[in-house]
Structure 1
Amino acid sequence: MAEIKGKYTIECVYGDLYQFSLFANNGQLLYESREYATLASCKSGIETFKKNVQDEKTKTRIDVDKNKNYKFIIKNGNSIYVGESYKTKTAAENSAESVKRFALISDVVVK
């Protein structure tokens, strides 16, 4: 049976900055990074992200924003990753688990 993979995409944004996004196998956006100055630093950011979301010290919590949308927050030391907005707490929890599942097995595509 083939392994189900998501994908990371790296795109040039705002003219000269790079950003990566993690997508589930169904195309759902799971996480969008901050901007990086170079392609190399963006790729390094993906490696750091993979390491941090899988670390046993990582803490995950669900927060509600002022618009009553739910977001997951994955924290490992000084690294904090905030997910997309979801209408339900369950959807945010499922997305956080998907991030952890897809982070290590997804291919990287540079657009």
Structure 2
Amino acid sequence: MGKFEIKTDKSGQFRFNLKAGNGQVILSSEAYTTKAACENGIESVKTNSQDDNRFERKTAKNGSPYFNLKASNGQVIGASEMYSSTSAMENGIASVKSNAPGADVEDNS
């Protein structure tokens, strides 16, 4: 089972990672100024991860595939790591879809 981990960064802002059951980070958030906003971001991931149209598939300058998860307003709410292939990226998207909805939240902030 996946989980969201909330942490604070060096500047005191809040971020979350969605981790798969094996502990691997599959989605990382932007920085939020408040914990409440970060928690709202997590709820947005849970909701929007169920709509394939919310996943923006991209390619980095070095050719590595990655994806962003966007909210209904078009704002990026999470970004993936860089993948070695398109199929690996699609597996990452599938992992977010399956892990996010029921993931617990662990507050390490």
Bin for the TM-score computed over the shorter chain: 0.7 to 0.9
When residues 25 and 63 of structure 1 are mapped into structure 2, their CA distance, relative to the original with a 3 A threshold, is same
When residues 39 and 75 of structure 1 are mapped into structure 2, their CA distance, relative to the original with a 3 A threshold, is closer
CA contact (8 A) 1:62 1:89 kept: no
CA contact (8 A) 2:48 2:54 kept: no
Q: Percent identity?
A: 34
Q: Choose which of 98, 103, 107 in structure 1 pairs with 2:100.
A: 103
Q: TM-score, normalised by structure 1?
A: 0.85
Instruction: Structure 2: state its 5+ residue gaps.
Output: none
Moved more, 10-19 or 65-74: 65-74
Count of residues in correspondence between the two structures: 106
Distance 2:54 2:37 in 1: 25
Instruction: Structure 1: state its 5+ residue gaps.
Output: none
CA contact (8 A) 1:6 1:24 kept: yes
Q: TM-score, normalised by structure 2?
A: 0.86
Matches within 5 A, 1:1-111: 5-55=1-51, 58-77=53-72, 78-80=74-76, 81-111=78-108
Give the aligned CA root-mean-square deviation in angstroms: 1.7
CA contact (8 A) 1:7 1:22 kept: yes
Q: Per-residue deviation at 1:105?
A: 1.3
* Rg comparison, structure with higher value: 1
Q: Per-residue deviation at 1:76?
A: 4.4
Q: Per-residue deviation at 1:48?
A: 1.4
Q: Per-residue deviation at 1:61?
A: 4.4
